[in-house]
């Protein structure tokens, strides 16, 4: 399959019309129709259902559209990376960030890289979940990920950056908002808004609720912390979120600490066998930005290792402070 065939097909599939697709591609309609038929003959299956009024996708065509878009995006990214290196850049690092780390750590990392690694080009993907970033690391679509452990893959190396805690995010008019520190058992029977079930924070949240004696009643899921807090503000339910989520200022949302809160670690991850001098230099940037527990040193976490035990109330972590950036 040639790249041009894929571009032609995606244009027709998105426009659902040969004439509009031809205009978009700056070509005549007959040659475009001929190219699509050649592609179908090459693949041995129909990709489009053609009528006089519209064009629809066959199941095979839908698969080609979904995966073809990803392939073209990867090709475009590859072309840009090659151009950047050819233009004299030292190299390219692709970084993924989870949740609030997108807004707290990402700007500092980019600024530090511009100061100390001026020839480095950084591409960033924010508000990603740990399983997404783990897969992207293994498949070579990311070089570095700032995520919340644990991870499954033994090929992924981890270094702890900081330890956060879960807090309750409540609608401002909730009776629970009138209290100070909340017991987890007090949240039984509440409607919850949570992160997707496959996320690291969701696993910790569900586990801690079960240990408190109840199964949380989830009424809505949201991948992005900002979306989740918006739903809390709308009164749809309450949520357990990392304490650093307080950096989002949402009218109608209040945060309350939990007694014996579960810890939520933040770590930087990479593929152990893919280390290069450039990657090691980039990873060193995190050393000066991390904010670990004062009683703990940064250390490597083993794949699948659970977060550390929660600190006592008399010894709060550095993550318990208001986020600064």
Q: What is the pLDDT of residues 176-193, one digit of tens each?
A: 998 889 999 999 999 999
At 264-315, the pLDDT tens digits run 899 999 999 988 888 988 999 998 765 444 333 334 444 444 333 333 333 3
Amino acid 119: pLDDT: 79
> Quick one: fold of 89-162+264-312?
D-Maltodextrin-Binding Protein; domain 2 (3.40.190)
- Report which of residues 197 and 51 the model is more confident about: 197
At 1-19, the pLDDT tens digits run 888 999 999 999 999 989 9
73 vs 93: CA distance, rounded Å: 17
- Kindly tell me if the per-residue pLDDT of 129 is higher than 50: yes
CATH top-level class of 3-84: mainly alpha
State the average pLDDT over residues 240-248: 86
Q: What is the DSSP letter of 193?
A: E
- Report which of residues 121 and 134 the model is more confident about: 134
Strand 191-194 relative to strand 239-242, pairing:
unpaired
Amino acid 291: pLDDT: 46
The values of phi and psi at residue 220, to 5°, are -165, 145
Which residue ranges make up each domain of the chain? 3-84, 89-162+264-312, 164-263
Overall pTM > 0.95: no
> Quick one: fold of 164-263?
D-Maltodextrin-Binding Protein; domain 2 (3.40.190)
The pLDDT confidence band at residue 145, using thresholds 50, 70 and 90, is very high
- Report which of residues 94 and 103 the model is more confident about: 94
**Are 182 and 168 in contact, with CB atoms under 8 Å apart?**
yes
> Any residues with CB less than 8 A from the CB of 267 and at least 6 apart, and which?
146, 147, 148, 149, 158, 159, 160, 161, 301
The values of phi and psi at residue 125, to 5°, are -125, 125
Phi-psi region of 26 (alpha: psi -120 to 50; beta: other; left: phi over 0): left
Two structure tokens written together for 37: 């038929």
Strand 48-50 relative to strand 263-271, pairing:
unpaired
Write the CA distances from 73 to 78, 106, 114, integer angstroms: 9, 23, 26
**Are 231 and 169 in contact, with CB atoms under 8 Å apart?**
no
313 vs 167: CA distance, rounded Å: 14
Question: What mean pLDDT value characterizes the chain?
Answer: 83
Amino acid 100: pLDDT: 80
* Among 119-123, 132-136, 179-183, the least confident range: 119-123
* Residue spans of beta strands (DSSP E) within 172-303: 191-194, 217-221, 239-242, 253-256, 263-271, 300-301
Amino acid 266: pLDDT: 92
Two structure tokens written together for 121: 């080009």
Amino acid 120: pLDDT: 85
164-263 shares the fold of 3-84:
no
**Are 123 and 77 in contact, with CB atoms under 8 Å apart?**
yes
* Of 256, 84, 86, 279, nearest in space to 184 by CA: 256
Q: What is the largest CA-CA distance in the chain?
A: 76
- Percentage of the chain beyond pLDDT 90 is 52
């Amino acid at each position: 399959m040639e790249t041009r065939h894929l571009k032609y097909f995606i244009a027709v599939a998105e426009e659902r019309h040969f004439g509009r697709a031809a205009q978009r591609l700056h070509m005549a309609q007959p040659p475009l129709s001929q190219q699509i038929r050649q592609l179908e003959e090459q693949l041995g299956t129909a990709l489009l259902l053609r009528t006089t009024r519209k064009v629809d996708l066959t199941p095979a065509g839908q698969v080609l559209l979904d995966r073809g878009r990803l392939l073209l995006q990867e090709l475009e990214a590859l072309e840009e990376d090659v151009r950047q290196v050819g233009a004299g850049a030292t190299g390219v690092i692709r970084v993924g960030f989870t949740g609030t780390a997108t807004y707290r750590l990402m700007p500092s990392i980019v600024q530090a890289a511009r100061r100390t690694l001026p020839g480095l080009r950084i591409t960033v993907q924010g508000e990603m979940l740990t399983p997404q970033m783990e897969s992207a690391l293994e498949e070579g679509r990311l070089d570095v990920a700032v995520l919340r452990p644990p991870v499954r893959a033994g090929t992924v190396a981890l270094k702890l950056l900081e330890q956060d805690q879960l807090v309750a995010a409540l609608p401002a008019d909730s009776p629970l908002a009138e209290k100070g520190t909340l017991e987890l058992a007090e949240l039984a029977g509440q409607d919850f808004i949570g992160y997707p079930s496959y996320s690291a924070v969701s696993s910790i949240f569900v586990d801690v609720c079960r240990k408190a004696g109840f199964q949380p009643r989830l009424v809505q899921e949201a991948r992005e912390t900002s979306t989740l807090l918006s739903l809390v503000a709308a009164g749809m339910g309450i949520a357990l979120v990392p304490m650093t989520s307080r950096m989002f200022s949402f009218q109608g949302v209040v945060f309350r600490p939990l007694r014996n809160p579960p810890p939520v670690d933040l770590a930087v991850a990479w593929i152990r066998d893919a280390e290069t001098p450039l990657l090691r230099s980039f990873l060193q940037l995190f050393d000066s930005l991390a904010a670990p527990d004062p009683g703990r040193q940064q250390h490597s976490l083993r794949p699948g290792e659970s977060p550390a035990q929660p600190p006592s109330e008399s010894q709060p972590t550095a993550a318990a402070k208001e986020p600064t950036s």
